[in-house]
């Protein structure tokens, strides 16, 4: 069985892009793989956070993931900071990672350009992520398009460690990018990806817990163009329609021809928007309802997360000890 590792940050609003780009695929392949899914709270600290809110959102995300179909009996679901090997692994990998590799990361360049004061953690973020993956000897890392470069960096770091210290010490992981939904764009600005940090802005994102009325409103406001043709297209002027069709395709699992056929009777973009909103509403309704039930029993959530952390540590702690030994550190007697 292939081993899968993936992660998601607890901060900001989990949106349709996170769901279609990552979580939906985790759930669909869950039975065929050995899975580790991690709520990466340490990654969230790379930009300033409100401590109370971070704590709330961490549990809330656990409930959302279970509501979305992650089964804690089939997958190991845990909080990153509950397994100290992640922070330790990051330090050890820092000491084989050239600074230039991190300075080249496009996400770092984008995020740091928008901030006056950049925290060291933001630069180091991909090394923490590499450690997440490598400590589990994961074969596959299912992520959206925007994380592909970070998974490729994890491969480079693993190869360098193997070269410097011990051949085949780490498994070289593969990024798994979905065919549809890998890059969901903002509804208000379809040339930019849908992003958690903008998800509070009206009309930008569909959040996983939005009520049907709100979802419909967001789709109705979606930016399109002045034409009428409903077709997949790479033309930047048609990015809005292309995004709506891409969302419909990812939600329904249909082929492009089937998607276009579903809209053959549409009288314009208005019908397209309502059609897409409807499949999204039908998909999210049960998730929102299960989420509300799960949040009523925080003690049960904590119990599941504690069990997940134990299972994760059983893999990650011995691996980090092997790393230390391989790098020349003395393990405690
Ligand atoms: P995060 O929390 O930003 O996003 C979680 C997942 O959602 C995907 N995603 C998208 N997919 C399609 N369209 C979008 N607009 C969109 N926005 C986000 C992301 O690609 C991701 O798969 N650093 C990671 C978390 C992480 C991780 C890991 C992932 C930490 N350690 C180890 C894999 C393996 C992050 O911040 O994802």
Contact 184 CB / ligand 1 (< 6 Å) = yes
What dihedral angle (degrees, nearest 10) is formed by the CA atoms of 76, 48, 201, 210? 30
State residue 115's pLDDT score: 87
Q: What is the 3-state secondary structure (H, E, C) of 69-87?
A: CCCCCCEEEEEHHHCCHHH
Contact 141 CB / ligand 1 (< 6 Å) = yes
CA of 143 to the centre of ligand 1 (A): 6
Average pLDDT over residues 216-231: 96
For residue 66, how many other CB atoms are within 10 A of its CB? 20
Dihedral sign, CA of 6, 206, 110, 144? positive
pLDDT tens for each residue of 12-40: 789 999 999 999 999 999 999 999 999 99
Instruction: List the chain domain ranges.
Output: 3-181+298-327, 212-292
Contact 194 CB / ligand 1 (< 6 Å) = yes
CATH class of 212-292: mainly alpha
Nearest-CA residue for ligand 1 atom 18 is: 18
Please, which pLDDT band fits residue 272 given cuts at 50, 70 and 90?
A: very high
Contact 146 CB / ligand 1 (< 6 Å) = yes
Helices 106-113 & 148-164 angle (0-180, nearest 10)? 120
Average pLDDT over residues 234-242: 95
Q: Is 303 helix (H, G, I), strand (E, B) or coil?
A: helix
Average pLDDT over residues 263-272: 95
Contact 147 CB / ligand 1 (< 6 Å) = yes
State residue 220's pLDDT score: 97
The preferred substitution site among 6, 8, 179 for testing ligand 1, maximizing ligand atoms within 8 Å of CB, is 8
Mean pLDDT of the chain: 97
CATH class of 3-181+298-327: alpha beta
User: Is the predicted pLDDT of residue 199 greater than 90, yes or no?
Assistant: no
User: Is the predicted pLDDT of residue 253 greater than 80, yes or no?
Assistant: yes
Average pLDDT over residues 276-297: 98
pLDDT tens for each residue of 123-171: 999 999 999 999 999 999 999 999 999 999 999 999 999 999 999 999 9
**Active-site annotation, residues:** 111, 193, 196
State residue 12's pLDDT score: 76
Nearest-CA residue for ligand 1 atom 9 is: 18
Name the CA radius of gyration of the chain, rounded. 21
The preferred substitution site among 11, 22, 150 for testing ligand 1, maximizing ligand atoms within 8 Å of CB, is 22
Average pLDDT over residues 262-291: 97
State residue 197's pLDDT score: 86
As a whole number of angstroms, the distance between CA 4 and CA 2 comes to 6
As a whole number of angstroms, the distance between CA 163 and CA 219 comes to 50
The preferred substitution site among 87, 132, 143 for testing ligand 1, maximizing ligand atoms within 8 Å of CB, is 143
pLDDT tens for each residue of 298-318: 999 999 999 999 999 999 999
As a whole number of angstroms, the distance between CA 58 and CA 51 comes to 11
Interacting residues of 56 by C-beta distance below 8 A, sequence separation 6+: none
State residue 258's pLDDT score: 98
């Amino acid at each position: 069985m292939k081993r899968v590792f993936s992660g998601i940050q607890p901060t900001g609003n989990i949106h349709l892009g996170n769901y279609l780009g990552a979580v939906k695929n985790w759930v669909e392949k869950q039975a065929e793989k050995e899975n580790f899914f991690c709520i990466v709270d340490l990654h969230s600290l790379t930009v300033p956070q409100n401590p109370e809110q971070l704590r709330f959102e961490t549990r809330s995300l656990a409930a959302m993931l279970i509501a979305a179909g992650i089964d804690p009996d089939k997958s190991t679901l845990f909080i990153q900071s509950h397994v100290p090997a992640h922070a330790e692994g990051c330090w050890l990998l820092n000491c084989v990672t050239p600074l230039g590799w991190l300075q080249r990361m496009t996400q770092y360049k984008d995020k740091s350009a928008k901030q006056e004061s950049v925290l060291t953690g933001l630069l180091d973020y991909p090394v923490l992520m590499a450690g997440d993956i490598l400590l589990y000897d994961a074969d596959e890392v299912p992520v959206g398009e925007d994380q592909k470069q970070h998974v490729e960096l994890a491969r480079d770091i693993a190869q360098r460690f193997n070269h410097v210290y011990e051949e085949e010490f780490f498994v070289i992981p593969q990024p798994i990018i979905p065919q549809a939904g890998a890059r969901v764009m903002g509804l208000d600005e379809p040339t930019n990806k849908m992003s958690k940090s903008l998800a509070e802005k009206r009309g930008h994102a569909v959040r996983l817990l939005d009520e049907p009325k709100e979802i419909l409103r967001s789709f109705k406001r979606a930016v399109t163009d002045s034409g009428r043709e409903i077709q997949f297209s790479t033309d930047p002027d048609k990015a809005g329609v292309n995004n709506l069709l891409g969302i419909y395709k990812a939600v329904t699992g249909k082929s492009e021809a089937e998607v276009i056929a579903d809209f053959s009777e549409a009288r314009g973009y208005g019908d397209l928007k309502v059609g897409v909103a409807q499949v999204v509403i039908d998909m999210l309704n049960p998730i929102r309802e299960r989420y509300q039930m799960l949040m009523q029993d925080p003690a049960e959530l904590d119990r599941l997360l504690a069990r997940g952390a134990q299972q994760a540590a059983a893999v990650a702690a011995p691996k980090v000890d092997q790393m230390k030994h391989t790098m020349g550190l003395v393990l405690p007697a």
